[in-house]
Amino acid sequence: MMISITQKFKPYTRVPGKHLPIPGSLLYAQVFPERWRVFSASHYLLFEGDMKIPGPLKNFAVFQDLHRGGLAVHSECYKYYLHPSGRCEVSPKGLPSASFGFPLLSLGVHKHADWQKIRQRQDLKEILPFWLRLGAMVPEGEEDASLYTLGAGKLLTQVQQSILSKEKTEIVSKLHSLFLSGYSECFLPRRFDAEHQGILTEVFQEDAEVPFALLRKSFSILMEIFVRIQDNFLEILPSLPPEFPCGRLVGVHLPQIGRLSFEWSKKTLRRVVLVASQSTSIVICAGTEGGTCRQREWQGKRLPGAKSLSLGESVEIKAGTTYLWDCFCK
Q: How far is CA 102 from CA 98, 139, 162, in A?
A: 9, 14, 25
- The verdict on 67 and 87 lying in the same domain is yes
Least confident of 26-30, 74-78, 140-144, 313-317: 140-144
**192: how many CB neighbours lie within 10 A of its CB?**
18
pTM: 0.94
- The verdict on 196 and 238 lying in the same domain is no
**Which domain does 22 fall in, by range?**
12-98
Q: Mean pLDDT over residues 51-76, rounded?
A: 92
The closest of 141, 178, 149 to 163, measured between CA atoms, is 178
- The verdict on 65 and 25 lying in the same domain is yes
On whether residue 175 sits in a domain, the answer given is: yes
Question: How far apart are the C-alpha atoms of 174 and 163, rounded to whole Å?
Answer: 10
Q: Round the average pLDDT of the chain to a whole number and report it.
A: 91
- The verdict on 237 and 209 lying in the same domain is no
Contact of 252 with 259, CB cutoff 8 Å? yes
Q: How many domains does the chain have?
A: 3
- The verdict on 83 and 109 lying in the same domain is no
**Phi, psi (rounded to 5 degrees) for 181:** -95, -30
On whether residue 29 sits in a domain, the answer given is: yes
Among residues 78, 98, 118, the one where a domain terminates is 98
Among residues 98, 131, 165, the one where a domain terminates is 98
Report the range out of 99-103, 171-175, 280-284 with the highest average pLDDT. 171-175
Q: Mean pLDDT over residues 102-126, rounded?
A: 96
Q: Mean pLDDT over residues 81-99, rounded?
A: 87
On whether residue 244 sits in a domain, the answer given is: yes
pLDDT at 264 over 90: yes
- The verdict on 301 and 243 lying in the same domain is yes
- The verdict on 286 and 308 lying in the same domain is yes
Q: Mean pLDDT over residues 296-310, rounded?
A: 79
135: confidence class by pLDDT, cuts 50, 70, 90: very high
Q: Which pLDDT score is estimated for 287?
A: 66
Question: How far apart are the C-alpha atoms of 95 and 183, rounded to whole Å?
Answer: 26
pLDDT at 302 over 80: no
Contact of 215 with 71, CB cutoff 8 Å? no
On whether residue 3 sits in a domain, the answer given is: no
Q: Which pLDDT score is estimated for 304?
A: 74
Residues 6 or more apart whose CB falls under 8 angstroms from that of 202 comprise 150, 151, 192
pLDDT at 305 over 80: no
pLDDT at 1 over 90: no
The closest of 188, 183, 186 to 41, measured between CA atoms, is 188
Q: Mean pLDDT over residues 253-264, rounded?
A: 94
Q: Mean pLDDT over residues 145-154, rounded?
A: 85
User: pLDDT above 70 covers what percent of the chain?
Assistant: 98
- The verdict on 156 and 197 lying in the same domain is yes
On whether residue 1 sits in a domain, the answer given is: no
**Phi, psi (rounded to 5 degrees) for 116:** -65, -40
On whether residue 6 sits in a domain, the answer given is: no
pLDDT at 260 over 70: yes
Q: Which pLDDT score is estimated for 288?
A: 60
Residue 310 vs residue 119, higher pLDDT: 119
- The verdict on 266 and 207 lying in the same domain is no
CATH number of the domain that residue 320 is part of: 2.60.40.1180
Among residues 98, 114, 139, the one where a domain terminates is 98
User: pLDDT above 90 covers what percent of the chain?
Assistant: 70
Residue 54 vs residue 164, higher pLDDT: 164
- The verdict on 29 and 83 lying in the same domain is yes
Q: Which pLDDT score is estimated for 46?
A: 98
Residue 305 vs residue 11, higher pLDDT: 11
Q: Which pLDDT score is estimated for 262?
A: 96
On whether residue 44 sits in a domain, the answer given is: yes
Condensed to tens digits (0 to 9), the pLDDT of residues 170-199 reads 999 999 999 999 999 999 999 988 888 888
- The verdict on 94 and 151 lying in the same domain is no
Return the H-helix or E-strand segment holding 220. helix 212-226
16: confidence class by pLDDT, cuts 50, 70, 90: very high
pLDDT at 142 over 90: no
pLDDT at 146 over 60: yes
